[in-house]
Amino acid sequence: MTLPRKPGLGFKPEHFPAIAETKPNLGFFEIHAENYMGAGGMPHAMLQRLREDYAVSIHGVGLSIGGPDPLDRDHLARLKTLCDRYEPESFSEHLAWASHGGVWMHDLLPLPYTQETLAIVCDHIDELQDHLGRRMLLENPATYVLFDNSDIPETEFLTEISRRTGCGLLLDVNNVFVSCVNHRQDPRAYLDAFPLAKINEIHLAGHEEEELPSGPLLIDSHGREVAEPVWALYGEIVSKIGPLPSLIEWDNDVPAFAVLMAEAERARSILEGQSHALAS
Amino acid sequence: MLSHRDFARSFRDAINGGAAPENATARQPGETERRFDVYRNNVAHGLSRALARHYPVIERLLGDECFKGVARLFIDRHPPQTPLLIAWGEEFAAFLAEIETFQSLIYLPDVARIEWARSRAYHSSDAQPVPPQKLQAIAQEAGEDLQLFLHPSVQVLQMLTPAGSIWVSQQPGGPPAPTAAQWAPETVLIARKGLDDVITQAVPAPIGRFISALAYGRTVAEAQASTGEGFELNAAFLLLVKNALIIGADKKGGDTT
């Protein structure tokens, strides 16, 4: 069971009527797991309906895989319930942490890349995969600071996690661009070092730009169109490894459904352009 | 060397206003604090928006800026102890009641209680209503021992302020808020009709007491005895049936239907 190698969209409840009426040509919808952990009502009714027509990706944002605390048992159980109920084609989470000492900050916080954190993350992923009885995908983060005790490059850290746990990777191209610009690195060098064969899904999203004395600071805002340099990187990746399930994320200042579909169509033209190129 | 646990603690302190963790850096180390602000802002903004999703009328009544300030204080005092934002924020009404500046806005905590009850109702589990004919048949058979089971979303709030009318007045196209002359305590029924219609309706106090008693497992006859003066059984039934809130009925001690 895998996601189709087509464009998908992050599901927003306000778009449900448009989706139910027009049955848009999309490979899948992705939902944030934590928004579907109520007992009943409209969220589950909509998801049930979506599930009938589309492949579904469940994307967790609250497990704190990169945190020092043990994984929250109740939350693991809720994720299992959700995955058992909807049998999604994919489950993914983040290389990030969100909670400490029982308090959740509800943001995807960065971690130093060390042997200590590598062991923690791998233990957490092993536990999660065992608990869910399925393989998960881990997403690369967008970051704004570095840590002077990080002694493993992010690409190597992800490679090693995937090797030790067997998890797949979710490549967020916008996060690559945001992090690399923020840390004055070359995104193409990052992608050259990325274990491309492990990628099972791609994320595309928009970012905001601020100005620091040393140059731009990009913020992963999910509140606008995908930026041109990110589309360019996406095209290069697809041309290297072929079509992959590709999600447009737009979580803030959510526009009309047609605006999201236009972004999905752009992803489709790149994916299909590549299928044709590979076929010919 | 900073352990991961110490790192996480110092990171959390930094989010709450302390200096960035000692191992945090940047290509230009002088910019570290400015960059770390992105995390401080993301956490504050994210939680403030999550609170506003539970309390849109409080946000409208206070205005954006004031709400943000209050949210900041609330987050400080009651940070989420759950990964579920849909389950965080229940203490907001009690928190508002303690704020000195709002002592004259005595309806504010009651409006917040209504909004929290609405969030709970929105996410509560699903249950099908008993068809009216079937209900009638069970009622006839059970007589004095009729027991009704209500939709899990049903909540009755008894308040000293007309917070229900104030909440309604803040909805698009809603009637004006009650004037001083119309000021009176209110009992408000909050429940979900079907999948997404969360009703918020002021009801006569005796009907509120009746519904609360049913929810406690009293029989219809027992509940009726506890309502006090002015109770109209037909009006109460109509309210519950019309909103599809009776999901089971039986003779007390019998099999649930």
Min Cα–Cα distance to chain A from B141, Å: 32
Domain boundary among B42, B74, B105: B105
Q: Which of A189, A179, A95, A107 is nearest to A142 (CA)?
A: A179
The residue ranges of chain B whose pLDDT is under 70 are: 254-257
Predicted pLDDT of residue A273: 87
Q: What is the rounded distance in angstroms from the CA atom of residue B152 to the CA atom of residue B50?
A: 24
**CA dihedral over B33, B36, B38, B41, signed as positive or negative:** negative
Digit-coded pLDDT (tens) for B109-164: 999 999 999 999 999 999 999 999 999 999 999 999 999 999 999 999 999 999 99
Q: Could you tell me if B32 lies within 8 Å of chain A, comparing CB atoms?
A: yes
B239 and B136 in a single domain? The answer is yes
Instruction: Give the domain extent around B69.
Output: 1-105
Burial of A81 (0-12, 13-18, 19+ CB in 10 A): exposed
Nearest CB to A38 within list B8, B50, B86: B86
In a domain? residue B120: no
Q: Let me know if residue B60 belongs to a domain.
A: yes
A217 vs B: CB within 8 A: yes
Amino acid at B233: L
Scanning A73-112 for CB atoms below 8 A from B yields 75, 78, 97-107, 109, 111-112
Examine the predicted complex and report whether its ipTM is higher than 0.90: yes
Q: Residue B111 domain-assigned? A: no
Ordered by start, the domain boundaries in chain A are 7-279
Q: Give yes or no: residues B147 and B58 share one domain.
A: no
Q: What is the CA radius of gyration of chain A?
A: 18
The answer to the question of residue B117 being in a domain is no
Average pLDDT on A210-239 reads 97
Does a structural domain hold residue B119? no
| Angle, CA B201 vertex, CA A42 and CA B236 arms, to 5° | 105
Q: What confidence score (pLDDT) does residue B253 get? A: 79
CB contact under 8 A, A184 and B27: yes
* CA angle B221–B225–B227, rounded 5-degree value: 120
Q: Is the dihedral of CA A15, A20, A24, A27 positive or negative?
A: positive
Q: According to the 3-state scheme, what is the secondary structure of B82-131?
A: CCCHHHCCCCHHHHHHHCHHHCCCCCHHHHHHHHHHHHHHHHCCCCCCCC
pLDDT value at residue B214: 97
Q: B81 and B143: one domain?
A: no
Q: Does a structural domain hold residue B194?
A: yes
Same domain, B203 and B95: no
pLDDT for position A275: 62
Q: Is the pLDDT of residue A202 over 90?
A: yes
Could you tell me which chain B residue has the CA closest to the CA of A70? B5
Max CA pair span of chain B: 81
Tens-digit pLDDT profile for residues A14-54 = 999 999 999 999 999 999 999 999 999 999 999 999 999 99
Question: B105, B139, B174 — which closes off a domain?
Answer: B105
Domain A7-279 has CATH 3.30.450.40: no
| Residue B100 and residue B133 in one domain | no
Spatial separation of the C-alpha atoms in residues A80 and B84, rounded to whole Å: 15
Res A279 pLDDT > 60: no
Q: Residue A34 is nearest to which of B21, B42, B84, comparing CB atoms? A: B84
- Asked if residue B162 and residue B134 are part of one domain, the reply reads yes
Residues B145 and B249 in one domain: yes
Domain boundary among B61, B76, B105: B105
Q: Are residues B161 and B53 in the same domain?
A: no
- One-letter identity of residue A199: I
Asked if residue B89 and residue B2 are part of one domain, the reply reads yes
- Domain-located, residue B224: yes
Q: Looking at the structure, tell me whether residues B252 and B129 fall in a common domain.
A: yes
Q: Does the residue B69 lie in any domain?
A: yes
Q: What is the pLDDT of residues A113-159, one digit of tens each?
A: 999 999 999 999 999 999 999 999 999 999 999 999 999 999 999 99
Alpha helices in B180-230 (DSSP H): 205-215, 220-225
- At residue A55, the pLDDT reads 98
pLDDT exceeds cutoff 60 at A56:
yes
- Shared domain for B25 and B129, answered yes or no, is no
How many domains would you assign to chain B?
2
Question: Do the beta carbons of residue B35 and residue A212 sit within 8 Å?
Answer: yes
Q: In chain B, which among 52-91 make CB contacts under 8 A with chain A?
A: 79-86
Helix axes A257-279, A228-241, angle to 10 degrees: 30
